[in-house]
Amino acid sequence: MAKIIVVTSGKGGVGKTTTSAAISSGLALRGHKTAVIDFDIGLRNLDIIMNCERRVVYDFVNVINNEATLKQALIKDKRVDNLFILPASQTRDKDALSSEGVERVLNELADDGFEYIICDSPAGIEHGAFMALYFADMAIVVANPEVSSVRDSDRILGILQSKSRRAEKGERVEECLLITRYNPERVAKGEMLGVTDVEEILATKLLAVIPESESVLKASNQGVPVIHDKESKAGQAYDDAVARLLGEERDHRFVEVEHKGLFQRLFGRK
């Protein structure tokens, strides 16, 4: 059985695509056959972060409209076996995503033996975001530690548990929270919400806290999902997230302000 996971947020620019790229790569690195679908029709950028934009011939909408087969449109990742990207169309608009079409593509992926299907949602709560979450078994709700982002996440959680296919069947969508662009120093100064504040407001399970990190920007410029960067804290935090998704217990790191020890101060290493 394929598990369909939507990465969603409501608010834009919080780190959904970064998260979709990292989590899908992480799952595939651990041997799970994984597909990641860009639902952001018209604004595609998953393929850029995954460094395959030059190999896009057919896209998600082509498959939905039967202009190409799923096999033709899926792009195999160059770095990780078991990872496939279904890019968004740049020219269509979001209404091109019909519910029947999306369902057909998801079913076909499941029949092809994909274990995880990651749906990278567009921002907002309009049709595209709705299509991305409608079929989900699980949602990773991405939030930045600030009030407006948290409010939007709350809203999305409400929609998820009332409007998704599972909700219609009287079931719950498994939900978890991923806080990203977290900066413990700024939290300590009271400029950002802390992890416990966010958890308390959203009353849902915490999957991971990803620190604000320059390595993310570097990674997306190079087209290498940040989880491949073993040195970076963001990469390590995403690796923890994937481990937790697969049932491992791991402590949350990078949540407290680091007090540099004497040794570190003397030698100036981060």
Ligand X SMILES: Nc1ncnc2c1ncn2[C@@H]1O[C@H](COP(=O)(O)OP(=O)(O)OP(=O)(O)O)[C@@H](O)[C@H]1O
Contact set for ligand X, span 35-64 (CB under 6 A): 40
Residue 269 binds which entry of other proteins, ligand X, Mg ion, none, CB below 5-8 Å type-dependent: none
Phi then psi for 127, rounded to 5 degrees?
Answer: -55, -45
**Per-residue contact string for residues 105-144; x = within reach of other proteins by CB under 8 A:** ----------------------------------------
Residue 170 binds which entry of ligand X, other proteins, Mg ion, none, CB below 5-8 Å type-dependent: other proteins
Task: Kindly tell me which of 45 and 82 has the beta carbon lying closer to Mg ion.
Answer: 45
If one asks whether residue 203 binds other proteins (CB under 8 A), the answer comes out as yes
If one asks whether residue 82 binds Mg ion (CB under 5 A), the answer comes out as no
Q: Which of 17, 25, 51, 82 binds Mg ion (CB under 5 A)?
A: 17
Distance of closest approach, residue 56 Cβ to ligand X, in angstroms: 17
Nearest to 140 by CA among 111, 173, 92, 110: 173
Residue-wise DSSP of 158-206: HHHHHHSHHHHTT-PPEEEEEEEEE-HHHHHTTSS--HHHHHHHHTS-E
Residue-wise DSSP of 230-243: TTSHHHHHHHHHHH
Walk across the sheet containing 138-143 and list its strands.
Answer: 75-76, 83-86, 34-38, 116-120, 3-8, 138-143, 174-182, 206-211
Residue 229 binds which entry of ligand X, other proteins, Mg ion, none, CB below 5-8 Å type-dependent: none
* Residues within the interface to other proteins (CB under 8 A): 151-152, 154-155, 157-159, 161-163, 167-170, 172, 200-201, 203-204
